[in-house]
Copies of this chain bind each other. A is one copy, B any other.
C-alpha cells in the first residue's frame, strides 16, 4: 500500500516553516508498514491544491493532506476538496452545536469565523479533533482513501493517532503487525548502527529502523505476518539480540519517554526528587514535569544561573567555586547535595556545564557538562562531553541527567 502526503500552506512552500508534519505522518505510517512514495507541498491556491489532490488520488492508495482547514481566509483546502471530488459544502447543525458546547465548557464563545467549521464537503466522513475546532475529512473507496487534516501540528498529531492509524490498520485487513520500539540514549545513531548492523533482518516483511530524536535514537523493529504468534516471535528474537549488544543504552522497550520511565521508578519506589540546574536552565525540571501526576514525586528545582545563587541558595562554598570553577565535579556534587537538603527530597540531581555558543576554553570546551546525583547514602557525579548547538547541548545534558538517575535507581 503506497501513501502520499500533501502539505498545504504558503508558510511551508515559502520556506518559513519546516515541514515537520510530513515527517511525523511518514514515521507513523511506516510504523504500520505503509511506505510513503510521494510528498507534495503547494501554497494557498485552490487550483494547485485541487491538482495535487487529484494526482494523489489517481496514483496512491492512501493520501493524507494537512493544512488549510482553519477558519481564516487563506484556508481554502475545503474548496479544493469540493472541486476535486465534485461535491458541495453542506452545513451540519449538529456539528455547530458540538463546537459551541466545547467552547462553552471552556468558558469561551465560539468565534464567528470558527462557525465555518460546520460547513463540510457533502458525503465526507468527519474525524474528531479532540483539541481544536477543525475536523478531519475522510473520503474512502474500496481501494483508496483521502484524508484531510488541520495543519496545526498538535491537532494533526491527535487526529492521526486517534483516528487515522486505527482506520488504516482496519483497511489493511487481517495481517498482523508487531511493532517494538527500543529507546536508547547516550549513543549516536552511527555508533548504534556499527554495533548492530549485522543484525539487520533479511527476511521479507520485517524491518529495523533507526529514528534519531531529541532525547536519543529509537530503534523500531517491525514484523508483518498473517500469523500473530510468528510475528511476535520474530520481533522477540531480534529485540533480544539488540539488547544483548547495546543494553546499557536502552532506557525502555516501549513507548514511555525517559521522563516517564524515571517518573515510574520514583513513584514505584516511593521516592521524591529535587533538581539544581545551571546550564540546562530549567530543562531538567521541564522534562520531569512534562509527565501528568509528576507532583507526586517531583518536589521542585533551583535554577542557579549565577554563582551568587549557587552560593546563597544552594550553599555551594565560595572557595570551591573559586578553586574548581562553576563547571566542575565538585560544584555539581555540592549543587545536588544543596538542593536535596534545601528542598527536602530523596534525590538531588544537578547539572553544570557550558552550553555555548560562547564561554568555552581549551580546558573547559563548549559541551563539557557535569551531572551530580545526591541521595542519603552519598553523592556522585559524572562528566560528559556533548556536541552540537546550544539547544542540543542543553537537551542532551538534561536527558543524560535523567538517564544517570535512572541507572542509579536500578542499581547499574
- Chain A residues engaging chain B, CB cutoff 8 angstroms: 10-20, 22-27, 30, 35-45, 48, 70-74, 106-108, 111-114, 131, 133, 152, 154, 188-194, 197, 200, 207-213, 220, 275, 277, 281-286, 288-290, 292-295, 298-306, 308-309, 312-313, 342-344, 356-358, 365, 367, 385, 387-392, 394
Tell me if A303 and B306 are in contact (CB < 8 A). no
Number of copies: 2
Tell me if A15 and B42 are in contact (CB < 8 A). no
Tell me if A308 and B302 are in contact (CB < 8 A). no
| Bound CA span A275–B212, Å | 33
Closest to A41 in B: B39
A203 to chain B, nearest CB (A): 15
Tell me if A191 and B111 are in contact (CB < 8 A). yes
Which residues in B have their C-beta under 8 angstroms from that of A193? Answer: 71-73, 113
Once A15-B23, A194-B112 are accepted as A-B contacts, the answer to whether A209 and B285 lie under 8 Å apart by CB is no
Once A39-B13, A70-B189 are accepted as A-B contacts, the answer to whether A290 and B113 lie under 8 Å apart by CB is no
Tell me if A37 and B43 are in contact (CB < 8 A). yes
Tell me if B281 and A289 are in contact (CB < 8 A). yes
A219 to chain B, nearest CB (A): 11
Tell me if B17 and A19 are in contact (CB < 8 A). no
The 8 Å CB contact of A342, one of B194, B294, B313, is: B313
Which residues in B have their C-beta under 8 angstroms from that of A367? Answer: 106
A65 to chain B, nearest CB (A): 14
Tell me if B38 and A41 are in contact (CB < 8 A). yes
Closest to A23 in B: B15
| Bound CA span A42–B10, Å | 21
Closest to A13 in B: B36
| Bound CA span A308–B343, Å | 8
Closest to A36 in B: B13
